Every structure is written in structure tokens, then in C-alpha cells.
């Protein structure tokens, strides 16, 4: 398939983008012509990911940004604006899942961490980004299929992902008509994040069996949907969530 060039001249920030879904999104936007700003917590991961993207001819700025660190969030935005002068796309992709406990047995500190990383930092990053966002710009928030029906092993994580579905609607209203805000809810994708599920053969088969297409997702599947929503092809879509789950049960 020939990749279109929908992001020529555009500047895209993707959080948590040194591997997995975030990396694939940065790669896709970059291959489509965007200057991409990648980030994650560890300098060595940021450097390695930047090198891989540059090897594919992608223009990259690489910044260390733990999304919970206010100074690092500010640096991410400031360095982007210093280098490229504007922001066209923000993809909020960072998340944590520090617990598999039932919700009522989850420690207070873990509840705080889940809300902070999965929901609050998305808002805080956008607060910093908004003054630099262009007319026609776009935000894509990465939620999860678990946001629709939080499974017992991912219950509180799932609830934070439910919150992102509402956040998408609320921000779409606040940021319209200048900026569109949409959401991608991935199904299960083998990455480090999900390896505790997807490397277990029995669990993997059970998850595959819950899809209509008979397979787990790929990071490229998630990147393609994100690129669509961020692009002009989706110029009349805002406040929406696309479920990219191979047909797993989500909603009518």
C-alpha cells in the first residue's frame, strides 16, 4: 500500500512514543511527511527511537518527557515550538497500569497514579500545548477497548480509559472549531505493556477468539486509525472514538 502524505508541513507531538503504539504512530505520521516530536521517560529510549525514525528519512525532535513531570511537559512543548514554531497534532498516548487488583482493593496511591498518568497529564499537556496549536489542528487521545467494559484484571485502568471517552467529548466542545479532538480505543496489541496477557498462550487465544477478525491488533493498525483522525480526511469528525479492535464487543 502506498502511504499518503497527509502531514507535509505539519508538526506532531506524540507522548510515550519510543516503542509500541506511540512509536508506530510517530513513524506513520513521519512517513506521511510530519515533523515528529517523540518522547518518553528514558533518554536512551528516546535516542534509540529517534535514530530508527531518522533512518527512515523522518524529521524528528526527541525530548525526554515523563508525562507526570510538569517541567518535562513544558520542555516538550517549548522545544517543539523553538524548533518548529507551531503544533498541528498532539497524540496523547501515555498510560500506566500498575495494578491487577480489584478496584476496591486498589491502594489509594495506585488510584492516584492511574488517574494522574492516564487522565490528568493528558489535560495538563494540552493546557501547555493549546497556545501554540494551529487553526485546523487535531488532538488524538489513546483510550482502550477496556474503557467500554473494564475487565476484572484491568478494572481501574479500564475506568480511567472510560474517562478518556468523556474527556474526548468535553474537549472537542471546548476546543471547537479551531481544534478537533478524537479518540482511538485499541483492542489488544502485543507490546511490552500488554505482554503479561499476550505472551500467555491461553490468554492470547482467548483474546483472539473475542475478535471477529481472529487476530490481535498490530501497532500499525492503531497508527493508521490515529493518522486518519489527525488528518484532513477527518476534517468533519470531532468528539468521536474509533474502536480498533478487530470487532471485539464494545458498543452499538
Note if 178 is an active site residue: no
Cα gap 193→212, rounded to integer Å:
23
Question: What are φ and ψ of residue 161, in 5° steps?
Answer: -75, -30
Measured N-to-C along each axis, helices 20-31 and 43-55 cross at an angle, to the nearest 10 degrees, of 30
Q: Which of residues 119-178 bind ligand NAP (CB under 6 A)?
A: 142, 144
Q: Rule CB under 6 A: say whether 117 interacts with ligand NAP.
A: yes
Instruction: Supply the angle between the helices 121-129 and 70-84 in degrees, to the nearest 10.
Output: 30
Q: Which of 11, 12, 34, 45 binds ligand NAP (CB under 6 A)?
A: 45
For residue 71, state whether it binds ligand NAP (rule: CB under 6 A): no
Which of 7, 13, 20, 89 binds ligand NAP (CB under 6 A)? It is 20
22 binds ligand NAP (CB under 6 A): yes
Question: Taking CB positions, which residue lies at the least distance from ligand NAP?
Answer: 20
Binding status of residue 189 toward ligand NAP by CB under 6 A: yes
Q: What is the DSSP-derived secondary structure letter of residue 119?
A: I
**115 is written with which cell numbers?**
488517574
Residues paired with 243 in a beta bridge: 185
Q: Which of 194, 211, 231, 241 binds ligand NAP (CB under 6 A)?
A: 194
Q: Closest separation between CB of residue 1 and ligand NAP, Å? A: 22
Cell of 102: 480489584
In the complex, least distance from residue 95 CB atom to ligand NAP, rounded to whole angstroms: 3
Nearer to ligand NAP (CB atom), residue 138 or residue 194: 194
Beta carbons of 16 and 93 less than 8 angstroms apart: yes
| Rounded Cα gap, residues 29 and 33, in angstroms | 7
Task: Show which residues are catalytic.
Answer: 157
Residues at the site binding ligand NAP, with contacts judged by CB under 6 A: 15-22, 40-42, 45, 65-68, 93-95, 117, 142, 144, 186, 188-189, 191-194
Amino acid at each position: 500500500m502506498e502511504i499518503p502524505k497527509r502531514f507535509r508541513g505539519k508538526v506532531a507531538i506524540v507522548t510515550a512514543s519510543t516503542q509500541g503504539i506511540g512509536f508506530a504512530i510517530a513513524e506513520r505520521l513521519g512517513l506521511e511527511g510530519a515533523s515528529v516530536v517523540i518522547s518518553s521517560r528514558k533518554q536512551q529510549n528516546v535516542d534509540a527511537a529517534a535514530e530508527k525514525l531518522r533512518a527512515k528519512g523522518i524529521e524528528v525532535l526527541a525530548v525526554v518527557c515523563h508525562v507526570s513531570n510538569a517541567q518535562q511537559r513544558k520542555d516538550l512543548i517549548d522545544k517543539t515550538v523553538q524548533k518548529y514554531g507551531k503544533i498541528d497534532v498532539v497524540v496523547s498516548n501515555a498510560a500506566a497500569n500498575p495494578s491487577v487488583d480489584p478496584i476496591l482493593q486498589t491502594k489509594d496511591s495506585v488510584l492516584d497514579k492511574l488517574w494522574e498518568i492516564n487522565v490528568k497529564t493528558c489535560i495538563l499537556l494540552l493546557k501547555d500545548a493549546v497556545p501554540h496549536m494551529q487553526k485546523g489542528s487535531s488532538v488524538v487521545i489513546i483510550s482502550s477497548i477496556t474503557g467500554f467494559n473494564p475487565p476484572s484484571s484491568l478494572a481501574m485502568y479500564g475506568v480511567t480509559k472510560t474517562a478518556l471517552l468523556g474527556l474526548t467529548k468535553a474537549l472537542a466542545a471546548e476546543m471547537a472549531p479551531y481544534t478537533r479532538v478524537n479518540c482511538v480505543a485499541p483492542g489488544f496489541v502485543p507490546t511490552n505493556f500488554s505482554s503479561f496477557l499476550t505472551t500467555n498462550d491461553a490468554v492470547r487465544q482467548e483474546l483472539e477468539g473475542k475478535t471477529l477478525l481472529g487476530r490481535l491488533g498490530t501497532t500499525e493498525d492503531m497508527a493508521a486509525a490515529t493518522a486518519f483522525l489527525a488528518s484532513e480526511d477527518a476534517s468533519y469528525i470531532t468528539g468521536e472514538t474509533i474502536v480498533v479492535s478487530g470487532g471485539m464487543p464494545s458498543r452499538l
